[in-house]
Amino acid sequence: MKGLAPITAAVAALAAVPLVVQSNTALNFLVMTLLIALAGQGWNVLGGYGGQYSFGHAAFFGTGVYVTAILQVHYGVNAWFSFAAGIAGGAAVGALIGALTFRVGLRGSYFALVTLAFAEVLRIIASVAPITGAGVGILIKLDLRVAAFQFQSRAVFYWIILALVSISLLIAQAIERSRFGAWLIAVRENEDAAKALGVNVGRVKLGAMIVSAAITAAAGCFYAQYFLFVDSGIAYGTRTSIEALLTPIIGGVGTVFGPLLGALAVNALSEGAKLVAGDAPGLSLIVYGCVLVLVIAFAPRGLIGLVEMARLRVARSTTREAAHG
Amino acid sequence: MFSLVILITAVLNGLLTGAVYALVALGLTLIYGVLHIINFAHGALLSAALFAAFFAFKLLGLDPYLAALLLAPAFFVLGYALQRLVIGPVSHGNDRNMLLVTLGLSVVIENFLLYAFRADTRTIDVPYAFQTIDLGFTFLPIPRLIGFVVVFAVALALWVFMRFTDVGKAIRAVAKEKLGAQLVGIDVAHVYAMTFGLGTACVAIAACLLIPTFYVNPTVGEAFVLIAFTIVVLGGMGSVPGALIGGLLIGVVESLSGLFFGESLGQLGIFLIFIAVLLVKPTGLFGAKA
């Protein structure tokens, strides 16, 4: 199929990394990068293509985390099945929030606010409910078997998260080229005009919300399997919501590769900040906040926008030279 | 009879707490009414103001009520500068960007406070912190009574300002019809920044009223601002009387649900009200239209 080349090339290059790099620290860095790229791609589907800025994507991430952990620990369900159930659970929460909010036509500030509130409600519930381990959290038992979705080697985890990211890239590209995507972008550009042209706005937004929630929930499921420990602050905390929106905005909002690029930039920056100023509480989030403001100020279309602009400038100067020479 | 006294005490206490909530919400609703965006940095600014009031007392020995006279103008200038120099120019007039910028600012401010002062919770000791007034059947804490009076004085002053001064009229004009206001020569960027400054000054006064009986840590503002969001939505976005009545109402609801269901569920109750109002009547009790 035409247009698959960039995705194939990027994924193939990334897949080869563990063959060259053996360092656990480096692999861990890449796993975390891909993890937030995945969460960010979820946000990008709804926020980037649909223009619905959610400030509470932790609601979906955390649901993925908890469903995966709770099914295994409390009900003895197989890890792979729990993983799938976690994605479904996140999608269900997305469908519920979407159905409630889009039905009454909440958008803009209101939508941001209501998603934030839902994530907070879930966090408060998870921090007191017995089934989520309340303040203590849940520990998934160490069980290094493929059937338990646990692996001795980081490289395997890396390839799994890479596979999930590749699927999310394909989903983003499929959305970009589908009629559904055209509707979604129409809603982003002008909701009232889209409605007037016969786009079922509520349904399109709801569909995007469900896909978006499922992708971000998958990141949560992976988190639970990778770290084998979850608590309410990790699962439903604001940090996840911020990272999920930061990655596509830095990389290029409403683009296929934006979240991946953004995740690389965000993680590299926060590691850099740690090197410079030591690992102090709050430091990486200060960097995130500053970067968010700076990107909106100077590169509203993200890194991808900057690259395109540079390419255009080069092309223009070469044509000018050709004309004069 | 005994339970009635407890009930009345809870309602009175709720009203006193609610007044301070109302002041935080007043700042938020003022900004929303004019700029039509939710200021997500409001909570972080409240945390910052609480720290400012804390250090004014600890380092300068300044009584919080006196510090308000200093901090309100200081935070007005801070708010003005934030809007004029950061939020406005950075967001290129795009509402979605404005939301993101206020979110980014809140992350920066809150985590800077965390970085600088760590997550420790601090309190100050003022001699009148536990003084009460005897109503015959119950006692009311004096600092919170003062807070209640000050909030209504501030609200009245704000009303007079909006009603009778040229700047107030310009703010109302921009809120009603931005383009029209621009056409008759009103400097919209200036009005936006004035409004943001006023909203931030409200937060500073609220912080000074809170600190004698409350505590401060880097995330304390977040809890308040979610309550303030609820009040603003309940009272109607942009409505000043809505913020006041909504604030008192939420204060009473929190106090009563704390009485009946216990402390931890009081917060959850507020969120549920919040989501319910957004879903059933997003325009709130006094709002014109969404």
Average of per-residue pLDDT values in chain A = 90
Q: Is the pLDDT of residue B262 over 80?
A: no
pLDDT the model gives residue A56: 93
With 80 as the cut, is the pLDDT of residue B64 above it?
Answer: yes
Question: pLDDT band at residue A325, thresholds of 50, 70 and 90?
Answer: low
Of A57, A78, A63, the closest CA to residue A145 belongs to: A78
High-pLDDT (> 70) share of chain B, %: 96
Our CA-based measurement puts residue A259 at a distance from the nearest CA of chain B, in whole angstroms, of: 16
Q: How many CA atoms lie within 13 A of B172 on its CB side?
A: 13
Of A191-195, A253-257, B6-10, the least confident: B6-10
Write out chain A in H/E/C secondary structure: CCCCHHHHHHHHHHHHHHHHCCCHHHHHHHHHHHHHHHHHHHHHHHHHHCCCCCCCCHHHHHHHHHHHHHHHHHHCCCHHHHHHHHHHHHHHHHHHHHHHHHHCCCCCHHHHHHHHHHHHHHHHHHHHCHHHCCCCCEECCCCCCHHHCCCCCHHHHHHHHHHHHHHHHHHHHHHHHCHHHHHHHHHHHCHHHHHHCCCCHHHHHHHHHHHHHHHHHHHHHHHHHHHCEECHHHHHCHHHHHHHHHHHHHHCCCCCCHHHHHHHHHHHHHHHHHHHHCCCCCHHHHHHHHHHHHHHHHCCCHHHHHHHHHHHHHHHHHHHHHHHC
pLDDT at B290 over 50: no
At B264, list the tokens. Answer: 């931890």
Say if the Cβ atoms of A293 and B97 lie within 8 Å. no
pLDDT averaged over every residue in chain B: 88
> Can you give the pLDDT at residue A133?
83
Q: Is A114 on the interface with B (CB under 8 A)?
A: yes
Q: Which of B36, B103, B105 to mutate to test the interface with A (most CBs of A within 10 A)?
A: B103
The ipTM value here is 0.87
Q: Which residue has the tokens 């921009």?
A: B174
Interface size between A and B, measured as CB pairs under 8 A: 119
Provide the residue ranges of all domains of chain A, joining segments of one domain with +.
5-324
If pLDDT is split at 50, 70 and 90, which confidence band does B288 have? low
Strand partners for A138 = A230
Smallest CA–CA distance from A301 into chain B, residue: B97
Give residue A274's pLDDT.
81
Nearest-by-CA chain B residue for A245: B100
Rounded to 5 degrees, what angle do the CA atoms B26, B28, B34 make?
Answer: 100
Task: With CB atoms and an 8 Å threshold, state whether B290 touches A289.
Answer: no
CATH match of B8-280 with 3.40.1360 = no
The predicted pLDDT at position A101 comes to 87
Contact at CB, B95 and A108, closer than 8 angstroms: yes
For residue A13, the distance in angstroms to the closest alpha carbon of chain B comes to: 33
| A246-269: average pLDDT | 93
- What pLDDT is attached to residue B289? 46
Question: What pLDDT sits at residue A168?
Answer: 96
Are A215 and A41 in contact by the 8 Å Cβ rule? The answer is yes
CB contact under 8 Å between B101 and A293, yes or no, is yes
Range in A145-149, A245-249, A292-296 the model is least confident about: A145-149
d(CA B192, CA A132): 45
Query: Which residue in B86, B278, B289 has the most chain A C-beta atoms within 10 A of its own C-beta, making it the best mutation to test that interface?
Result: B278
**Res A48 pLDDT > 90:** yes
Residue of B nearest to A284 (CA): B111
* Residue scoring higher pLDDT (B235 or A175): A175
Average pLDDT over residues A15-30: 88
Q: What is the CATH number of domain A5-324?
A: 1.10.3470
pLDDT confidence bin for B1, thresholds 50/70/90: very low
Q: Average of pLDDT values for B263-273? A: 72
- A126 contact B CB<8A: no
Q: Do residues B104 and B74 lie in contact, with contact meaning Cβ atoms separated by under 8 Å?
A: no
Are residues B234 and B247 in contact, defined by beta-carbon separation less than 8 angstroms? no
Question: For testing the chain B interface, which of A293, A294, A295 should be mutated: the one with the most B CBs within 10 Å?
Answer: A293
- Interface touch B92/A121, C-beta < 8 Å: no
For A191-205, what is the mean pLDDT?
93
Yes or no: say if A235 and A220 are a contact pair by the CB < 8 Å rule: yes
Q: Is the pLDDT of residue B156 over 90?
A: yes
- Percent of chain A at pLDDT > 90 equals 59
Q: Which of A53, A245, A286 sits opposite B112 (nearest CB)?
A: A286
Find the CB nearest A114 among B86, B110, B278.
B278
- A64-102: per-residue pLDDT in tens? 999 999 999 999 999 999 999 999 999 999 999 999 888
Read off the tokens for A166: 């590749």
Distance (Å, rounded) from C-alpha A178 to C-alpha A164? 21
Of residues A159, A145, A129, A271, the one with CA closest to residue A222: A159
As a whole number of Å, the CA-based R_g of chain A is 20
> Shortest Cα distance from A72 to chain B (angstroms)?
28
Min Cα–Cα distance to chain B from A101, Å = 6
At B202, list the tokens.
């409200």
Amino acid at A7: I
